Amino acid sequence: MKNQVNILYKPSSFFLLLCLSSSSIATSHHEPHWGYEGESGPAYWGELSEDYKLCKKGMKQSPINITQTVTQKSLPATLNFSLVEQTIQNNGHTIQVSAPGGSSVALNEQQFKLVQFHVHTPSENTIEGQPFPLEFHFVHKNEEGRLAVVAVMVKEGLSNSAIAGLIENAPSDAGQSASIDERISVESLFPFFKDYYSYEGSLTTPPCSEDVKWLVMKSPVTASASQIFSLNEIIGHSNNRPVQQLNDRVIFESN
């Protein structure tokens, strides 16, 4: 089953020539340990490895505080939602669902396929200085390996069936993964209204590589207080990078 939803997209030539994740890039055992606390936390990422230097010196870093936006006409894009085989992993940094070959977003006549999605608690991006209890990142990649990330904020409210599925299937111990028998609906993690903010940014974890296209949905979805608490318990720690300087970037707002 596939549903198409038209949204707006600010055309851009900047996409990341990397693979996989805005938050959880697969690392080899040779790479330095990074985390969210102490001397391996965000303030020190740029000093852990030469490969991570953009975490300290980059000028287009994510996340950001979304404010003072510019409204601009833009070209249409299409989100395609579908249910496919999924695997869920607790990688020690986040809860991540791999969904290769499933949902996609069409941008400027290019297909960006959803590779995985994962959750941050609390949110990484903020809107007018407001953080949210949770933020989902949907990582899309085209055939050239370029990335587009769609972010969805979560506020406390009614329970969400897709989030219930995450909680039910998520391994409690870091390093574990499992197949999901009853597939999680990506569409259920998106708001009804698809207006968004967009900006040029980076991965929010090492190596903090830049030229990631970010689309942040204006409207949040809801999760119950118990669902928010449960995801926090499973992850075991806050996993949000602090807001970064905007510098000379422009934040666009769909109309």
Task: Name the nearest CA neighbour of 133 among 52, 10, 240.
Answer: 240
Residue 127's DSSP bridge partners are: 66, 130
Q: What is the DSSP letter of 251?
A: -
For the chain, where are the alpha helices, taking DSSP H only? 45-48, 54-57, 161-169, 225-235
End-to-end CA distance of the chain: 29
Beta pairing class for 221-223 and 147-156: parallel
- Amino acid at site 80: N
Residue 120's DSSP bridge partners are: 135
Q: Write down the catalytic residue from 30, 33, 93, 237.
A: 93
Between CA 225 and CA 203 the distance in angstroms is: 28
Is-catalytic flag, 137?
no
The answer to whether the beta carbons of residues 241 and 232 sit under 8 Å apart is no
Composition of the chain by helix, strand, coil, percent to 5: 15, 35, 50
Task: Name the nearest CA neighbour of 127 among 216, 39, 203.
Answer: 216
Between CA 170 and CA 217 the distance in angstroms is: 25
Q: Output phi, psi for 166, to 5 deg.
A: -60, -50
Active site residues: 93
